[in-house]
Amino acid sequence: MISLVIGNKNYSSWSMRPWVLLKALDIPFQEVMLKFHSPEWDQHIANYSPSKQVPVLWDGEVGNSHSICVWESNAIYEYLAEQFPTHGVWPQDKMARTHARAIVAEMHAGFRPLRLAMPMNIRSRFPGLGMNADVEKNINRLESLWRQARMRFGSPSGSGPFLFGAFSAADAMFAPVVMRFMTYTPPLAADTEAYCTAVRAHPAVAAWIIDALAENEFVAEDEPYASSPA
């Protein structure tokens, strides 16, 4: 049985990425929630996660040295693609699949200004905050990535409104960016707004949002625009 160790759904963008993909592709898994700064986090994180970060996927008993442990979102995606080759983790077409892996890697490694200035916070709304010249460059690059993927691969496939047609690891990787745009409402092109609407409406993403809105923990380091809970 696969288990996914995650942090707070309101804040943890990296936890969201594999969780949403597992849900979207109907891969059974057990959610193991460790809230940030909780007694459960302090007690278990060192045993559950080699990096002491989330997410972490376990295939087998969580924390057992004989189980398979996979950390880092990209590595989790690749493990899922190996274990579930017919579930559509990546696009079937070789060119589309290569392109998807490249943009996922770019997201994983880059966009630091956006991450810092607009941290994921699904519960809150901070319209207009977080924008600066570097963030604007990040957003322009994201819009270009999404536009190119949808025009080149998504629309021609006829299989859905997502980057490569059907929902895949690429859309799961960018889902937290869509959450950021929902919170900070930067100016976006019409085609970007359409893509964001499609991502938010996906049942797996919608389920994550519902869970995030039900949380009430306030994590100060993830709240640069609030000094206390609303």
pLDDT at 40 over 80: yes
The reported pLDDT for the residue numbered 230 is 65
Round the average pLDDT of the chain to a whole number and report it: 97
From 49-58, 111-120, 151-160, the region with the lowest mean pLDDT: 151-160
Nearest to 181 by CA among 138, 221, 134: 138
Q: What is the pLDDT of residue 151?
A: 96
**Which of 109, 214, 96 is CA-nearest to residue 162?**
96
Confidence class for position 156, pLDDT limits 50, 70, 90:
confident
Rounded CA-CA distance 68/80 in Å is 12
| pLDDT at 54 (0 to 100) | 98
Using the predicted structure, report yes or no on whether residue 210 has a pLDDT greater than 80: yes
pLDDT category at 55 given cuts 50, 70, 90 is: very high
Whole-number Å distance between alpha carbons of 7 and 19: 11
Task: Give me the pLDDT at residue 10, please.
Answer: 99
Going by C-alpha positions, the residue among 46, 163, 55, 39 that lies closest to residue 101 is 163
Question: How many Å apart are CA 18 and CA 10, to the nearest integer?
Answer: 15
**Quick check: helix, strand or coil at residue 166?**
coil
Same topology, domains 2-86 and 94-213? Answer is no
Give residue-wise pLDDT tens across range 6-34: 999 999 999 999 999 999 999 999 999 99
Distance CA 13, CA 15 (A): 5
- Hey, which residues does 59 pair with through a beta bridge? 2, 68
The full set of domain ranges for the chain reads: 2-86, 94-213
Identify the pLDDT of residue 158: 77
Single-letter amino acid code for the residue at 74: N
Would the pTM of this model clear 0.95, i.e. be above it?
yes
pLDDT in tens, 71-95: 999 999 999 999 999 999 999 999 9
- pLDDT reported for residue 155: 85
Q: Are 21 and 104 in contact (CB under 8 A)?
A: no
The CATH number corresponding to 94-213 among 3.40.50.720, 3.30.1360.230, 1.10.10.10, 1.20.1050.10 equals 1.20.1050.10
Look at domain 2-86 and name its CATH class. Answer: alpha beta
Instruction: Please tell me the predicted confidence (pLDDT) of residue 216.
Output: 95
Mean pLDDT over residues 131-152, rounded?
A: 98
Burial 80-89 (b: 16+ CB within 10 A, else e): bbeeeeebbb
Mean pLDDT value across residues 171-185: 99
How large is the angle between the packed helices 203-214 and 190-201, nearest 10 degrees?
A: 80
DSSP state string for 192-228: HHHHHHHHHHSHHHHHHHHHHHH-----GGG-TT-SS
Identify the residue whose tokens are 């594999």.
18
